[in-house]
Amino acid sequence: MAVRSQSGRLVRERLPARHMDLVALLRSDHGMGHGHANAVVASTLAEPRDSELANPEHRD
C-alpha cells in the first residue's frame, strides 16, 4: 500500500484539479496505467480531507 499513499499524496498536492487531469498526471509522470491511476484518484478523492477529520460537523 505504500504506492497508494505516495500516489494519494501526489493527488492531494495538486488539488483542486479535475479528476481526469489527475489521472493524466499519474499516467504521464509516474507510468501508471489508466485503470490504476483512475482508481488512485477516485480513492483519494473519496477520503475525508484533514479539515473534515478535525471537525466532522463542518463538512462541505
Whether residue 1 is predicted with pLDDT greater than 50 in this model: the reply is no
Whether residue 48 is predicted with pLDDT greater than 60 in this model: the reply is yes
Distance (Å, rounded) from C-alpha 34 to C-alpha 54?
A: 33
| Mean predicted confidence (pLDDT) in 4-14 | 86
Cell triple for 41: 484518484
Q: Number of C-alpha atoms within 13 angstroms, CB side, residue 21?
A: 6
Sign of CA dihedral 38, 1, 33, 13: positive
Distance (Å, rounded) from C-alpha 46 to C-alpha 28?
A: 23
pLDDT at 54: 53
Q: What is the pTM of this model?
A: 0.73
Confidence of residue 4 (pLDDT cuts 50, 70, 90): low
